[in-house]
Structure 1
Amino acid sequence: MDESRIPESPIRIREGFRGQVQHVLPRPLLDRVAGHPLLQSLLPTDIGWYPTAQYHYRERPEGAGEHILIYCVAGAGWAKLRDEFFTVHSGEALVIPANTPHCYGASNDDPWSIHWVHFLGGTGEYLAHVVTPTSYKLSVDAQCGATVEALFRACYALFPGGFILSRLIYCAQVLHHLLGELFFNNSAFSPAMRTSRFHSIESTLTFLRQNLHRSLSLREMAGHAGLSESHFSRIFKEQTGHSPLDYFILLKMQHASTLLSVTSLSIKEVAAAVGYSDPYYFSRLFKKTFGVSPRAYRNSPKG
């Protein structure tokens, strides 16, 4: 497909595809429920499924009032957002922030099958801007894709009986799950892809979990990732919110809490199991993490 201009088509269709699902919530209803505490952060406004959507085309020169997510599960399509043109293939999702001029449509040769949803709210505002004008689409791994499809279908099943508030709230909760899977449990995507420095840290996280009994240095962690210490630290914090050493301590303390709960190991033995020869230093770190000493944690009721 020529990526320099919008593909010409003899027919352009907004909707009406065989087997489609489409639910557009009445705007007066949305106005009434927008202030509900469970809908303020994420409010779905339109949702649907267009299978083999031949000649599908949509253009909004001023953008939409909501954020839009399109997930392509078969075939292909294209999109133009502002001045950026690109193709969208099976296993890719497209995120269009609110008020962004755009048009999109199905491939003439291999029309796409898409799940789609429009949404408002603070959570949506944040997630819609995780991607940038140079990265409006994201790849979706197979496991995540299967979960996202199932969650879309769960939403579709809610509305044939009417737009009842409880169903709308449930749909919003399912959509929270769906977006969480797509953005934060999807090995094919990371918020760090917003920069050219993207480098997956999954192998590093596995390396850390496998070496909780050791005292790893930042140099060893960066060396395992094949990066300089400064580059590694920057990427690691982007993807976890913690420095590598702080994250490693958190992993150690988490494992220590499990050992304290399910074994009869002494405090000294637990400390040694997570790489600390000094049980007093271990106890200080544990208390800083959990707010109580290892002994108090072991004796506290749980569950």
Structure 2
Amino acid sequence: MSQPSSWPLPAGSSRVVFPLSLTEQLAEHPLTRHLYPLAYGHYVDAAGHQVQREQHTDYLLIFCHRGRGAFHTPHASGLLQAGQLLLLPAHTAHHYQAQADDPWSIYWVHFHGTAAARCLQLLNFTPQQPVLTLARWRQLIPSVTELLNLQHQRYSLSAGVLAATLLQRIIAEVPRLSDTAQPAAGFDLAALDRFMQDNSHRNLALQDFAAVAGLSRYHFSKKFKTATGISPMRYFNQLKVRLACQMLDTSTDSVRHIAQLLGFDDPYYFSRLFKKTMGVSPQLYRDSHHRQQER
């Protein structure tokens, strides 16, 4: 892991570095191995803060909420200002520092996982454009605060799993809060999402969604993928898997019964879809969740 800076912490700042034993557990855990934090913190009015790394083994997100700073990589350089998010990929040399006349206040996290590289695609980052502006970043503060408050707990696997879950939630929210998130032209995406939620118990086809949007299947699929980055049926199936996770967490219903409640006539197909989406089978997901509760 690339060590966080040893910059002296002023009042109101914090830094959390997980021990190697914990990050090794998170790298193997079925609920966290795809994305988990290694270290994170909050630097307030960080005068004199600067870091230069030629070797960088993990991914790093820096969000500036006040002041300014500068960054430089082999592919890009510029200023990071309030409301902007910088992503530095693994294995990318970099240098960044707070501006002397207006030092930044930043939230930051070092992270890794099997899906870490795909975060660049999710967040629309490229090596040439590593900065994203968030129009409504304050909506993330409750999750960020909850993550920072974990520093008051002892290091444990359960705390690490919760930290990973919060990080995943924060990253998942970023596209919705960015200036570049655009609604699909030609239909109401929010209304369609509600339709999918209300009909998650049905076995619907592409034509059903296209009819709700008032478009042909071809034009609907194209517009939907432009808006969300994935196909309509994959989106619908992922919604069903999220609902399945809630049912597995909160009920004792069998996997077969949950599949039927979500419109799957074939429980084996449902299990394959669940594993493809979550990385584990429905039963292993349930067992892992119950073990966490017991701890």
For normalisation by structure 1, the TM-score amounts to 0.62
Aligned-pair CA distance for 1:43: 1.4
After superposition, the Cα gap between the structure-2 partners of 1:168 and 1:209, relative to the gap in structure 1 and judged at 3 Å, is: closer
**Do the aligned residues in 2 keep the contact of 1:91 with 1:141 (CA within 8 Å)?**
yes
1:158 maps to 2:119: no
Hey, what does 1:206 align to over in structure 2?
188
The range that moved more, 146-155 or 105-114, is: 146-155
Counterparts of 1:28-39 in structure 2 under 5 Å? 28-39=21-32
Q: Residues 215 and 71 (structure 1 numbering): CA distance in 2 closer, same or farther, change over 3 Å? A: closer
Q: Is 2:128 the partner of 1:140?
A: no
Take 1:122 and 1:31, find their aligned partners in 2: how far apart are those partners? Answer: 13
Conserved 8 A contact 1:201-1:236: no
Aligned counterpart, 2:62: 70
C-alpha contact 1:13 1:55 (8 A) present in aligned 2: no
Q: CA 1:167/1:84 → structure 2, altered by over 3 Å: closer, same or farther?
A: same
Q: Quote the residue 1:188 is aligned against.
A: 179
* Residue 47 (structure 2) aligns with: 54
Q: Whole-Å Cα distance in 1 between the matches of residues 27 and 156 of structure 2?
A: 14
* CA deviation map 1:77-131 (0-9, x unaligned): 1111214111111011011111111111111211111001111112322103441
- Please give the alpha-carbon distance, in whole angstroms, between the structure 1 residues aligned to 2:170 and 2:188: 25
Corresponding position: 1:239 with 2:231: no
Contact 2:71 2:97 in 1 (8 A): yes
Contact map agreement 2:76 2:130 (CA 8 A) in 1: no
Query: Which amino acid letter does the alignment assign opposite residue 177 of structure 2?
Result: N
Distance 1:124 1:29, change over 3 A: same
How much has 1:15 moved relative to structure 2? 4.0
Partner of 1:88: 80
Report the structure number with the largest CA radius of gyration.
1
Secondary structure, counterpart of 1:162 in structure 2: coil
Percent identity of paired positions between Structure 1 and Structure 2:
25
Which secondary structure state, in structure 2, belongs to the residue aligned with residue 22 of structure 1?
strand
Runs of 5+ consecutive residues of structure 2 not aligned to the other structure: 193-209, 237-262, 266-295
- CA RMSD in angstroms, aligned pairs only: 3.4
Match of 1:41 in 2: 34
Aligned residues: 217
Shift of 1:176: 1.0
- Match of 1:25? 18
- The structure with higher relative contact order (CA 8 Å, sep 6+) is 2
Structure 1: how far apart are the matches of 2:118 and 2:190?
Answer: 30
